[in-house]
Structure 1
C-alpha cells in the first residue's frame, strides 16, 4: 500500500488529484469551508488572536479547501495557510498558500486532516486456524495468500483496538495511523486538530475490514499496483488515544452531521414566502439547503467521524454539546 500510493510512480506521488477519483466534502460544496471558517474564528478567539494563525491542511489534494477558506476568512493578514501534500503543487494555486511535504514543526492555530488518515497505509491481518496472519498481496494481480504473523507491536494494537474472534475475520492494523496522528498533535503548540474520515469504533469493527480502491469515481479491487487509490476506514478512537498521549488536552469524537449542524449547516428549506418576496434569494437559500443536506446526510458524508483534539485551549463551546445524531 505504501508503494502503491507514495512510492515511485505511486498513485498520489505521481500527482493524481482526489477530485478526479472520488467525492469529498470539499468537492461537494464550498459550505464545508464556510463551516470550518466559523471553527477558525472560535479557535482564534480561544488563542487570544495570535500574531500568526496557522491553518494547516494535511492531505490537501489540490489545495481547494484552503483556497475556499481564504475566500471567506479574514484574520487581518495573520492567517498562514499551509498545504501538506506529496503531490506536486498544482498550477494556479494562490501564492498565499505554502506547499509542503510535511507539516510545520510548530503550529499555532488549526490543523485539518480531511480524508487523510484513511490513506495512511495499513497491513491487513486475517485470523486463521494457526492464529493471526498478515495478508500478502501480489501487486500485479491482487491475489492473496496468508503471510507471517504480525509483529509484536501490531499484535498488541490488535488486542487493544481490533480483537479478532472467528477464523476468517479480518482487521486493518491502524498503529501507523495512530503514530501519524500523534505526530500532528506533537507539532501543535496551541489550538485544535481535526481529523475527518469514515470511521468505526472498537465495539463495532467490520468483521471483514473495509479496504477498497477508487478509480475514476468507481469502487475497484484494491490491487496495489499504483493504478487506484487504496483506502480503509479509520479507527478514530485509537487515534484519539494516541493524540492524548501526544499531548492533547481535550478530545471530542462525534459525527460530521452533528458537528456541521452545530456550525450552522442545517439543510432546512427556506420559507416559501421568500420565493414571493425575493425569488433570487429564495433560489440561493434553496441551493444552500441542498448542499447542506448532502454534507450532513446521515447515510453519506454526514456519517463521517470527526475527531477533535485541542492543545492549550478547551473545546470550542459551539462543539461541546454535539452528539452523534440520527
Structure 2
C-alpha cells in the first residue's frame, strides 16, 4: 500500500472491509482467526455437540429429508462443521451435506464430506449457523459532535480518527430507530444497517429450516454509550487499527437484524435447552469410576465456560425459523 493510501481518510466500513477482506486482509491469512482469538467453537467440543443436537431437531421438524443441509457461515478453518459431523448420529450424518463458507482457501486435511464455498448455497434445507460472523461485517461509526449532530467517523490506516460529514439517509433512519444518540458530545454508535442486510441475505438462502446467528450482542435499552469497536491480535484485545494484521470487530445489534418471526435469546439459555448445563458429576462416580469422573468434571468446566455470565454465556443467539416451528419452543 502506498503512503498516499495509508494517509487516506475513509469511513470505518470501507477501512475495515479492506483490512479484513482485501487482498492482504486479516481473514486471508493462512493461520486463520483461531490463532488470534477464541470462540465457543474453540472453547469446547460441547458447542459442536449442541449444534449437532439442534440440527437433529431441525431434521425432525423437516420430516427427516433425504438430504439435510448444514451451512457453517464464517467457518474459519472448518472446525465447527467437522465437529458437528463427528457428533451427529450415524443415520443423520449419512444424510447430512455440510458446507463451510469462508473467503480463505480450504485448509489441508479437512473432512472430505465438507464442501468449501465462498458463499452459502441457495435453497438450504436444514440449518444455517453463523457463529461470530456478523460482528465482522464492517459498519460505519457515528459520533456526536459539539453541536449535538451525529457525524460519520473517518479513520486512516494507522487508526487516527476525525469526524466527517453528518450521518444522513437510510443510516440516519437506522440510528433513529435502533440506536438513537442523545445530543451529548462524544457519544458513539455503530451503524448496523450492513449487518441487517447481510443477515437478511443469508436467511434468504434457506428454503426451509433454521438460521441462527451467534455473536457478541446488545439490544435496545442496553446499547453501549461509546460503541464497542475494537481489535484482536494474537489472543489480546488491541486498539481498532485497520492495518490488516488484526481483527476489527464490534458487537451486534441482533434485535435490529431479526426478521419477522426471529427472536434473540442468551447463549446460556440456548445451550441449556440443548443439554449443555455445566452440572458437576456426582461425587460417588469418583469412587466407582475415577477416569469417568475426571472426564465429566472437565466437561462440566467447559460447559460452565460456554454458559458463564459475563462471558460466552452472554452472547446472543438470533434464532430465525424458515417454514418450520422454532425448535426452542417445541
Equivalent residue number for residue 6 of structure 1:
21
Aligned-pair distance for 1:16? 4.4
Over aligned residue pairs, what C-alpha RMSD do you find? 1.1
User: Alignment partner of 2:213: what SS?
Assistant: strand
Aligned-pair distance for 1:320? 2.2
Equivalent residue number for residue 324 of structure 1:
none
Distance of 1:310 and 1:102 partners within structure 2: 20
Equivalent residue number for residue 22 of structure 1:
37
Distance of 1:44 and 1:303 partners within structure 2: 27
TM-score, structure 1 as length reference: 0.93
Give the conservation status (yes or no) of the 8 Å contact 2:181–2:189.
Answer: yes
Please list the CA deviations of residues 29-75 of structure 1 after superposition, one character each: whole Å capped at 9, or x if unmatched.
Answer: 00001111111111000000111111001000000011111111131
Equivalent residue number for residue 232 of structure 2:
214
* Correspondence for 1:137 among 155, 158, 168: 155
Give the conservation status (yes or no) of the 8 Å contact 1:16–1:87.
Answer: no
User: Alignment partner of 2:218: what SS?
Assistant: coil
Distance of 2:196 and 2:169 partners within structure 1: 16
Q: What is the 5 A alignment of 1:151-170?
A: 151-165=168-182, 166-170=184-188
Shift in alpha-carbon separation, 1:275–1:94, aligned structure 2, 3 A: same
Moved over 4 A (4+): none
Q: Which runs of 5+ in 2 are unaligned?
A: 1-15
Please list the CA deviations of residues 90-139 of structure 1 after superposition, one character each: whole Å capped at 9, or x if unmatched.
Answer: 11111110101111111110010000000000101101134111111111
Q: What is the 5 A alignment of 1:1-326?
A: 1-73=16-88, 74=90, 75=92, 77-130=94-147, 131-139=149-157, 141-165=158-182, 166-240=184-258, 243-244=259-260, 250-316=261-327, 319-320=328-329
Equivalent residue number for residue 8 of structure 2:
none
User: Alignment partner of 1:276: what SS?
Assistant: helix
Aligned-pair distance for 1:202? 1.6
User: Alignment partner of 1:12: what SS?
Assistant: helix
Distance of 1:134 and 1:286 partners within structure 2: 50
Distance of 1:16 and 1:237 partners within structure 2: 33
Aligned-pair distance for 1:281? 1.2
Aligned-pair distance for 1:157? 0.6
Distance of 2:70 and 2:313 partners within structure 1: 23
Shift in alpha-carbon separation, 1:95–1:76, aligned structure 2, 3 A: closer
Aligned-pair distance for 1:14? 3.4
Distance of 1:252 and 1:149 partners within structure 2: 32
Aligned-pair distance for 1:150? 2.4
Distance of 2:151 and 2:130 partners within structure 1: 31
Shift in alpha-carbon separation, 1:76–1:214, aligned structure 2, 3 A: closer
Equivalent residue number for residue 247 of structure 1:
none
Distance of 1:89 and 1:173 partners within structure 2: 32
TM-score, structure 2 as length reference: 0.92
Please list the CA deviations of residues 196-236 of structure 1 after superposition, one character each: whole Å capped at 9, or x if unmatched.
Answer: 00100121100000000000001111110101000000000
Aligned-pair distance for 1:299? 1.3
Distance of 1:189 and 1:105 partners within structure 2: 8
Please list the CA deviations of residues 242-273 of structure 1 after superposition, one character each: whole Å capped at 9, or x if unmatched.
Answer: x22xxxxx323100011101111111111111
What is the total number of aligned residue pairs between the two structures?
Answer: 311
User: Alignment partner of 1:293: what SS?
Assistant: helix
Aligned-pair distance for 1:13? 2.4
